[in-house]
């Protein structure tokens, strides 16, 4: 194991410390180049650690995902989303009294200010629910100005709880606004997930009670989506937080990043692909097209996982449970055949392409009657647990500084301004 790195530069030897498998990029500055002190060039931050974190561990080659050291499989089997949110935020699983207080605290804050609701109501009827969610979350710091005091532990705590609690309410309002339906307010009688489903789907019935198998399936989906270390949206949250921002303003950056089709939108692309394939008989032809470079097998491959995404395995089981309630999504057979062929095909095996979390999640959301635009919202709501945990970790980390990368300037220099008549 390297303890340090020797670099020969212009006849001089420079020794850089290697700690935790990394060098400090700032240490490279002692090496001179023609363009000034040496720096690294890393678009997309492919090989750059931006923080030290104790929240989520991923070993992509082995297909391991752990929150605070607990394997995702054990949490999905035994825990709930709210308990996992507590774990991510506090580092330890709660005891019974701590969990009861936590659930009561979060559930207490589910209502939103009527003006925040109005922001959704004033959106265009066909604006994307992620855009409505962004606007509403951006407004929240105005109702809680104390949230700007991020040095105050009590303000930090209450505002992280508020954000966790209000995201499902705002998400459900955004959904119902698109349908022209009345808003359903949070109910004290319902737990976190049951209440979310009630705010989404309640019609005229006096009490809405979701099938408990669906409640459990959504709870598991939420656990699986709660955090994924320094992904694009979490990095955006941390960058905005590094300027001293409150959790609401920082979370808006996360929602915006997740909105992108390369990040939160892949499950929608899987459904589109399954629709285009149309039937199991067309799967071999589609796979041949993928191998010829005509299309990508959406829901396969991952930047970090070079093995079966552990979340995909769990989601596959959840999908089967959901279909027991909703009836089987006809596209399931196409997805299973794609997976069967791909996992046995040299093209996919040699490139280590396995199903990722998005391969089956879209099928579940569709079976629950969500339109495709809501799929990313169903990702943003649970990821809030990760965002607030990472936000807090960044705020408390004395090594963190305002995010401000370098650039390699490739433009013109030293030009003289010419009047418009002479151009
Ligand atoms: N179908 C077919 N071939 C693929 C796929 C795929 N889904 N993914 C990668 N490959 C091939 C590439 O063509 C490349 O082949 P080559 O070496 O012959 O050129 C090789 O595998 C490596 O691919 P890269 O694009 O370099 O891998 P990268 O790590 O950059 O991309 C990504 C990862 C973007 C997820 C990619 O696998 C992909 O596009 N998958 C489909 C989209 C998807 O499912 N995204 C969701 C990711 S999970 C999430 O964000 C929550």
Question: Mind listing the pLDDT tens digit for each residue in 200-244?
Answer: 999 999 899 999 999 999 999 999 999 999 999 999 999 999 999
Gap between the Cα atoms of 270 and 276, Å rounded: 10
Checking if the pLDDT of 395 tops 80, the result is yes
pLDDT digits (tens, 9 = 90+) for 268-287: 889 989 999 999 999 999 99
What's the domain range around 6?
1-49
Gap between the Cα atoms of 57 and 67, Å rounded: 6
Q: Ligand 1 center to residue 265 CA distance, Å?
A: 14
Checking if the pLDDT of 49 tops 80, the result is yes
In-domain check, residue 75 = no
In-domain check, residue 17 = yes
Residue 314 contacts residue 75 (beta carbons within 8 Å): no
Residue 159 contacts residue 147 (beta carbons within 8 Å): yes
In-domain check, residue 8 = yes
Q: Which residues are catalytic?
A: 263, 302, 358
User: What is the pTM for the complete model shown?
Assistant: 0.93
In-domain check, residue 76 = no
Q: What is the DSSP string of 112-137?
A: --HHHHHHHHTS-TTS-HHHHHHHHH
Q: Whose CA is nearest to atom 15 of ligand 1?
A: 351
Please choose, from the candidates 324, 140, 124, the residue with its C-alpha nearest in 3D space to the C-alpha of residue 250.
140
Residues in contact with 416: Cβ distance below 8 Å, sequence separation at least 6, in sequence order: none
Gap between the Cα atoms of 223 and 168, Å rounded: 14
Q: Which atom of ligand 1 is nearest to the CA of 270?
A: 44
Q: Ligand 1 center to residue 352 CA distance, Å?
A: 10
Q: Which atom of ligand 1 is nearest to the CA of 290?
A: 2
Please choose, from the candidates 230, 375, 373, the residue with its C-alpha nearest in 3D space to the C-alpha of residue 315.
375
Q: Which residues line ligand 1 (CB under 6 A)?
A: 263, 266, 290, 296-303, 351, 353, 356-358
In-domain check, residue 105 = no
For 313, phi then psi, to 5°, come to -60, -45
In-domain check, residue 26 = yes
Q: Ligand 1 center to residue 300 CA distance, Å?
A: 7
Checking if the pLDDT of 256 tops 80, the result is yes
Q: Whose CA is nearest to atom 45 of ligand 1?
A: 266
In-domain check, residue 4 = yes
In-domain check, residue 281 = no
pLDDT at 292: 96
Task: Give how many domains the chain has, as a whole number.
Answer: 1
Q: Which atom of ligand 1 is nearest to the CA of 309?
A: 48
Mean pLDDT of the chain: 94
Query: Strands 56-59, 32-33: parallel, antiparallel or unpaired by DSSP?
Result: unpaired
pLDDT digits (tens, 9 = 90+) for 131-142: 999 999 999 999
Checking if the pLDDT of 1 tops 80, the result is no
């Amino acid at each position: 194991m390297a303890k340090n790195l020797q670099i020969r530069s212009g006849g001089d030897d420079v020794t850089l410390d290697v700690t935790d498998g990394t060098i400090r990029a700032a240490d490279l500055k002692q090496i001179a180049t023609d363009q000034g002190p040496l720096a690294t060039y890393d678009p997309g931050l492919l090989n750059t650690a931006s923080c030290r974190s104790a929240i989520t561990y991923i070993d992509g080659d082995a297909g391991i995902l752990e929150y605070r050291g607990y394997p995702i499989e054990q949490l999905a089997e035994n825990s709930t989303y709210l308990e996992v949110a507590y774990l991510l935020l506090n580092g330890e699983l709660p005891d019974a009294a701590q969990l009861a207080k936590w659930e009561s605290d979060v559930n207490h804050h589910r209502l939103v200010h009527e003006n925040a609701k109005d922001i959704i109501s004033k959106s265009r009827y066909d604006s994307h629910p992620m855009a409505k969610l962004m606007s509403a979350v951006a407004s929240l710091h105005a109702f809680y100005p104390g949230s700007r005091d991020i040095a105050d532990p009590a303000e930090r705590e209450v505002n992280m709880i508020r954000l966790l609690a209000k995201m499902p309410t705002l998400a459900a309002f955004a959904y119902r606004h698109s349908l022209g339906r009345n808003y359903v307010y949070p109910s004290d009688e319902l737990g976190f997930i049951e209440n979310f489903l009630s705010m989404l789907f309640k019609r005229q019935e006096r009490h809405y009670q979701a099938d408990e198998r669906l409640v459990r399936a959504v709870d598991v989906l939420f656990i699986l989506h709660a955090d994924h270390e320094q992904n694009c949206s979490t990095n955006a949250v941390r960058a905005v937080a590094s300027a001293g921002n409150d959790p609401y303003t920082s979370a808006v950056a996360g929602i915006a990043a997740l909105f992108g089709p390369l990040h939160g939108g892949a499950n929608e692309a899987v459904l589109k692909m399954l629709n285009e394939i149309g039937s199991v008989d067309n799967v071999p032809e589609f796979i041949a097209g993928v191998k010829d470079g005509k299309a990508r097998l959406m829901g396969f491959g991952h930047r970090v996982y070079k093995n079966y995404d552990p979340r995909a395995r769990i989601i596959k089981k959840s999908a089967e449970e959901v279909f027991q309630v909703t009836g089987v999504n006809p596209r399931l057979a196409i997805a299973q055949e794609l997976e069967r062929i791909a996992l046995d095909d040299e093209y996919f095996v040699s490139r280590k392409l396995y199903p990722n979390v998005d391969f089956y999640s879209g099928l579940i959301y569709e079976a629950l009657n969500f339109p495709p635009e809501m799929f990313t919202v169903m990702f943003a709501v649970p990821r809030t647990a990760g965002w607030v945990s990472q936000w807090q970790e960044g705020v408390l980390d004395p090594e963190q500084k305002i995010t401000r990368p370098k650039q390699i300037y490739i433009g013109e220099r030293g030009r003289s301004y010419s009047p418009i008549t002479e151009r």
